[in-house]
Amino acid sequence: MKLRNIAIIAHVDHGKTTLVDKLLQQSGTFRDNQRVQERAMDSNDLEKERGITILAKCTSVLWEDTQINIVDTPGHADFGGEVERILSMVDGVIVLVDAAEGPMPQTKFVVGKALKLGLRPIVAINKVDRQDARIDEVVNEVFDLFAALDATDEQLDFPILYGSGRNGWMANSPDASHDVGMKALFELVLKHVPAPVVEEGPFRLLGTILEANNFLGRIITGRIASGSVKPNQTFKVLSRDGKTVETGRISKILAFRGLERQPVDFAEAGDIVAIAGMTKGTVADTFCDPTVETPIQAQAIDPPTVSMSFIVNNSPLAGTEGDKVTSRLIRDRLLREAEGNVALKVVEAADKDAMEVSGRGELQLAILIENMRREGFELSVSRPRVVLTKDENGNTLEPIEEVVIDVDDEFSGVVVQKMSERKAEMMEMRPSGGNRLRLVFHAPTRGLIGYQGELMTDTKGTAIMNRLFHDYLPYKGEIAGRRNGVLISNDQGEAVAYAMFKLEDRGPMMIEPGWKVYRGMIIGEHTRENDLELNVLKGKQLTNIRTTSKDEAVRLTPPIRMTLEKALAYIESDELVEITPKSIRLRKKHLDPNDRKRAEKSKEAIA
């Protein structure tokens, strides 16, 4: 069978998954009367809720007599590890660029990786029907980006298509009829993307995506580099350094046909398939014939930049809302996640009740935590910390990110001021159309933790911020943290409206009447810099004496709503976020006030 393997890469929200929907529809994968949900490739619950792609996924369409395997990739920088692995599996990429926003940080990241592998991209200018589209400028920006990334002359001679993924058309000109459909894109893929290179020798496959199935066990997806494979065939697994991990028999081979995976009796080199039957083999391992001795070289993955401690929940309310609370269950779940996600690194901390988890950003770690709480886990997590390293001379280096902020003119001053307070260095400032400016900064990752919410407040929700790992550079010095202290409960019980009403002048609350609180739990934000302990359990003293004065109505100010990401960004180093399937609570690391004072004194003594 004639084959083509392509990946669709782009920045977040530029329309990759919507484009795949239309390719599936117009290739005849669905029946005319078949009901298909929007963004069919986003099958995960969190993907549907947030409208973003988190996991890379494969599908395939049949166009004329050629099978085209398509990989839909995430666009968010935190999930860049997914994209890096996928590129070794394909022979061509479609770079999707928004006709108004132009190439963004993640576009630069994934295109750079694709060009290094020698892939010749197809550029698709999407959303040309936007009112603020600037098609010619965007094409020039794409060319400049390719040139800046040291593209070869052959790669710089890229074909361009224009269209709208949502309306289901792509053509050689932005003024073409909207009835042409995706024919131009299909034909360009067949003409421009080379057929898979088939190597000589027995069966070899590099593991790229790992998943668990209740019926088949571990399933690994990858492209067959050489040879062919049949069910019940013996195989062995080689690690990256050439050691044999395990041997066994392939129980099932699944090929991608539309949105479904169908069992097949035979698969040959060049095709992307999923195989089952292994118990230990994982991502970046080589699955091969028993005669093979040399593993396939796996693509190097960029290092993690942010780490967090995942700690057993030891609050007084532990175990009341979740059923997976022990350190062993948390440890096994994190190690299982690290197996399939090469951008995550999990290490057991010196304290046996904690695990150190490092990833690409707060969002990646927040998605992991959200998945765990939905599975019934209870745990506490620390504030995200950056992963520091040393150079040859012993100087401390920290991760620096390239930050692109699109903002209205009137708010540019406050954005520049806040970024400079966070030790950011402005690299570029230029108009981006519609009375908006594009500001480009190089900022330390630790300065950006928690800035997203502040940016939204400062710009009345109009700014768009995009981040991308830039490099490890010398440490930039101390950055001022949260300016306000917190209000802490001094007793355990249920919060009372009367007590909360009397304490409102101390600062905004984070809890509601009737919520369970405990000693050391954070219940609000203090209006001053210091922390303050309060009693929110004290009800009104009732007597049997009648009075002429009316009871004053208790009208409470709505509390601060803490989402998971907001809570992670808000806490300081001496605080934790307690996460259960039903609640997100903020607390002090040391619940007893005397322990807190001792910890503070020892910290001052060390300093």
Q: Taking a C-beta distance cutoff of 8 angstroms, is the pair 459, 415 a contact?
A: yes
- Tell me the per-residue pLDDT of 304-319, one tens digit each, with 9 for 90 and over: 888 999 999 999 999 8
Residue 411, amino acid? F
What is the pLDDT confidence band of residue 33, given thresholds at 50, 70 and 90? very low
Is 517 in the same domain as 399?
Answer: no
Asked which of 22-26, 65-69, 291-295, 491-495 is least confident by mean pLDDT, the reply is 22-26
Q: Decide if 307 is inside a domain.
A: no
pLDDT at 285: 87
What are the beta bridge partners of residue 98? 126
Q: Count the helices and strands in the chain (H runs, E runs).
A: 15, 35
Is 45 in the same domain as 143?
Answer: yes
- Is residue 17 part of an annotated ligand binding site? yes
pLDDT at 550: 55
**Contacts of residue 360, Cβ cutoff 8 Å, sequence gap at least 6:** 77, 78, 79, 80, 81, 302, 304, 305, 306, 343, 469
- Is residue 13 part of an annotated ligand binding site? yes
For all residues of the chain together, what is the average pLDDT?
Answer: 86
Does residue 573 register a pLDDT over 90? no
Is 225 in the same domain as 172?
Answer: no
- Tell me the per-residue pLDDT of 344-385, one tens digit each, with 9 for 90 and over: 889 988 777 889 999 888 888 888 999 999 999 999 999 998
Does residue 299 register a pLDDT over 80? no
Does residue 526 register a pLDDT over 70? yes
Does residue 38 register a pLDDT over 70? no
Tell me how far the alpha carbon of residue 189 is from its chain's centroid: 29
CATH no. for residue 247? 2.40.30.10
- Is residue 16 part of an annotated ligand binding site? yes
Is 163 in the same domain as 16?
Answer: yes
Whole-prediction pTM:
0.80
What is the pLDDT confidence band of residue 189, given thresholds at 50, 70 and 90? very high
Residue 287 has φ and ψ, to the nearest 5°, of: -100, 120
pLDDT at 322: 87
Residue 602, amino acid? S
- Is residue 21 part of an annotated ligand binding site? no
- Indicate the residue among 192, 218, 236 that finishes a domain: 192
Q: What is the DSSP letter of 280?
A: S
- Tell me the per-residue pLDDT of 1-31, one tens digit each, with 9 for 90 and over: 689 999 988 887 777 788 888 888 877 665 5
pLDDT at 545: 66
Question: 138 vs 126, 348, 578, CA distance in Å?
Answer: 11, 47, 45
What is the pLDDT confidence band of residue 509, given thresholds at 50, 70 and 90? very high
Q: How many percent of the chain have pLDDT more than 70?
A: 92
Q: Decide if 306 is inside a domain.
A: no
The structure tokens listed for 328 are 């062993």
**Contacts of residue 442, Cβ cutoff 8 Å, sequence gap at least 6:** 400, 401, 402, 403, 424, 425, 427, 470, 473
Domain of residue 252, residue span = 204-288
Is 69 in the same domain as 176?
Answer: yes
- Indicate the residue among 452, 474, 496 that finishes a domain: 474
- Tell me the per-residue pLDDT of 415-472, one tens digit each, with 9 for 90 and over: 999 999 989 999 999 887 678 898 999 999 888 887 887 888 889 888 888 888 888 8
Is 461 in the same domain as 589?
Answer: no
- Is residue 116 part of an annotated ligand binding site? no
Burial state string for 185-204 with b = 16 or more CB within 10 A and e = fewer than 16: bbebbbebbeebeeeeeebb
What is the pLDDT confidence band of residue 489, given thresholds at 50, 70 and 90? very high
- Is residue 14 part of an annotated ligand binding site? yes
